[in-house]
Chain A
Amino acid sequence: MGIRPKMNKEPFPAIYVRNVSMRFPGKHSSEHIDVLENVTASVAHGEFVCLFGPSGCGKSTLLNIVAGFLDATSGEILVEGEPVRGPDRRRIFVFQENGVFPWLNVRENIGFGLRKHEQTERERTISHYIDMVRLRGFEDTYPRELSGGMRQRVEIARALAANPDIIYMDEPFGALDFLTRLKMRTDLVRIWQSEKKTILFVTHDIEEAIQLADRVLVMSPRPATIQEVIDVDLPRPRDLDSPGYLEKRDRIFRVMGMSLRVGEAIAT
């Protein structure tokens, strides 16, 4: 399998996962559930990688293990060459929804990770990221008064403001409506291009994966392994009608064993 870091400027890949398995205990000891089985993957510095797979396949579990929120049953997880021992402020997790603190306004949420910074520098950083996620004018607004898309932008800004090396995103646009989702993807690509962060992004949306990623790691159903790695070497901004784009999309469909024509029997 073509699992290799693409831009190997640093001695270690940003994220390196080897033979990771995850088993959740069931009701009885014999009924445990194998969620991940010998997953091996790596993400290079500055790379945008999507973890793609069917719902419930364990891609979120893998992300939570890499982020240090869950302990794998076995296997090795190295981030920046060091074993993961728990959540770390150098790698910020963006949750699916409601990850922003409802008791803080936009400014306070974005500044949450900056408590040790000097006042003027903190203000400058907050202001910078408010502009980046286009929330100027909403600094004093509370999350409950914002739309779902705006709340996610607050959370992305909160993550960026903490200046992490890596951002983990767990279906961050999954709860948004279709048009907002498209807009958020465009914004995320723009932000990623200017901030040069490593991003590991979980999605169950094929279009989303190909629109965003440098590489898509396609996961199999449970117990999940990396089934295929697809390099999306298309220039950005990406044209969703280009033959290259459609070719990548169809390839993922085939890997998933799905037909593009609704109602047609699967050939393989």
Chain B
Amino acid sequence: MSATQAEVAVEPGSRASSRRNAAWLRNPDSRFWQTIRAVGMLALFFTAWGLAVRISHSDLFPTPGNVLRGIIELAQKGLLFKYIVASLFRVTWGFTLAVLIGVPVGLVLGWYTRAFQAFNPILQILRPISPIAWIPVAILWFGVSDAAPIFLIFLASVFPITVSAIAAVQNMQPVYLRAAQNFGLSRGELFRRVIFRASLPQIVTGIRIALGVAWLVVVAAEMIAVNSGLGYLIIDARNAGKRYDLVVAGMVMIGFIGLILDFLVRQLEKFDEVRWGYARR
């Protein structure tokens, strides 16, 4: 590596840059090869999928081409955008409610040991119940409306957020607390300026996990309780004419939007306010 750099230093003009090209081409961990690996494997996956459908002579299961045409068809009918918006709308509401309730509740339970002792058993019993199990209850309480899936998403995401906030406060380095006490902070200031700030990296991690779960659940909820959204699309396409190209199209869209959502929450981890919690000392 150092030898290459030395050569580059003495080479003039364009030859130097071609040498540098050769360096990233030769380095198996360069950005170029990382991209090739990911894209190449995706291409291989789609090819294998298409071949498998053709070899098995399946009438119902679509090839990647069928799925792509299905997505275009949905987009032309205006359904794709409508369903995506419907699903995102429900996630946004349920998830926002979960953050607004989970973070403060977690901070308080993490800080006040006696409150934690009182509420933790309830929390631990409710937490392992799958949001899917709540579907009948949600329909009973909210009927076939947006409120039912929003409630399910709220349930799914509020626990990871609360639990991560509790753990964050409980694991806070005591030295921050003592420094804060030393500067004579009031109770409110202590929460706002120290406990919340010290817990933020772990809370953001909890939020990221919660959003993943929320997206999983919205699709499941829409299969039963409503008549729009990507989950509804999948069930509807299956029931109304065995349109498996549209079923898989729905699945692909769910995957892509999940990827985008995760990418967006990961941007939160880049802020200076939380980065200290991930960087190694």
CB-based contact B276/A113 at 8 Å: no
* Secondary structure call for the A interface: loop
CB-based contact B276/A93 at 8 Å: no
| Complexed CA–CA distance, A86 and B200 (Å) | 28
Partner of A69, one of B178, B275, B277: B178
Q: Is A88 an interface residue (CB 8 A)?
A: yes
Collect the chain A residues with CB atoms within 8 Å of residue B273's CB: 103
Partner of A87, one of B175, B182, B197: B182
Given A89-B184, A101-B194, A103-B197, A95 contacting B179 (CB threshold 8 A): yes
Collect the chain B residues with CB atoms within 8 Å of residue A101's CB: 176, 179, 194, 197-198
Partner of B178, one of A87, A89, A105, A162: A87
Collect the chain A residues with CB atoms within 8 Å of residue B183's CB: 89, 92, 112-113, 162
| Complexed CA–CA distance, A93 and B274 (Å) | 25
CB-based contact B279/A144 at 8 Å: yes
Collect the chain A residues with CB atoms within 8 Å of residue B175's CB: 95, 98-99
Collect the chain A residues with CB atoms within 8 Å of residue B130's CB: none
Q: Is B181 an interface residue (CB 8 A)?
A: yes
Given A98-B175, A101-B176, A103-B200, A93 contacting B272 (CB threshold 8 A): no
Chain A residues 76-121 with CB under 8 Å of chain B are: 86-89, 91-93, 95, 98-99, 101-105, 112-113, 115
Q: Is B281 an interface residue (CB 8 A)?
A: yes
CB-based contact A86/B181 at 8 Å: yes
| Complexed CA–CA distance, A152 and B189 (Å) | 24
CB-based contact A98/B178 at 8 Å: no
- In the assembled complex, the CB of A113 is this many whole angstroms from the nearest CB of chain B, namely 5
For the side of the interface on A, what is the size category?
Answer: 20 to 34
Q: Is A143 an interface residue (CB 8 A)?
A: yes
CB-based contact B276/A143 at 8 Å: yes
Chain A-chain B contacts (Cβ-Cβ < 8 Å), number: 54
Residue of A nearest to B273 (CB): A103
Q: Is B173 an interface residue (CB 8 A)?
A: yes
Q: Is A142 an interface residue (CB 8 A)?
A: yes
- In the assembled complex, the CB of A159 is this many whole angstroms from the nearest CB of chain B, namely 9
Chain B residues 240-278 with CB under 8 Å of chain A are: 272-277
Given A113-B183, A144-B281, A103 contacting B276 (CB threshold 8 A): yes
CB-based contact B194/A92 at 8 Å: no
| Complexed CA–CA distance, A86 and B180 (Å) | 12
| Complexed CA–CA distance, A207 and B137 (Å) | 72
CB-based contact A87/B276 at 8 Å: no
Collect the chain B residues with CB atoms within 8 Å of residue A112's CB: 183
Given A101-B194, A103-B273, A92 contacting B182 (CB threshold 8 A): yes
Would you give the 0/1 interface string for A149-165, flagging 1 where the beta carbon is closer than 8 Å to chain B? Answer: 00000000000001000
Residue of B nearest to A89 (CB): B184
Considering residues B175, B200, B275, B281, which has the most beta carbons from chain A within 10 angstroms of its beta carbon? B175
| Complexed CA–CA distance, A69 and B182 (Å) | 9
Collect the chain A residues with CB atoms within 8 Å of residue B197's CB: 101, 103-104
Partner of A142, one of B173, B181, B198, B272: B272
Given A142-B272, A143-B276, A144-B281, A99 contacting B179 (CB threshold 8 A): yes
Partner of A93, one of B176, B179, B198: B179
| Complexed CA–CA distance, A92 and B200 (Å) | 26
Residue of B nearest to A102 (CB): B276
Apart from A87-B184, A89-B183, list 12 A-B contacts with CB within 8 A: A69-B181, A88-B182, A98-B175, A101-B194, A101-B198, A102-B276, A103-B200, A103-B272, A103-B276, A142-B272, A144-B275, A144-B276
Can you list 5 A-B pairs with a CB-CB distance of less than 8 A?
Answer: A95-B179, A103-B198, A103-B274, A103-B276, A142-B276
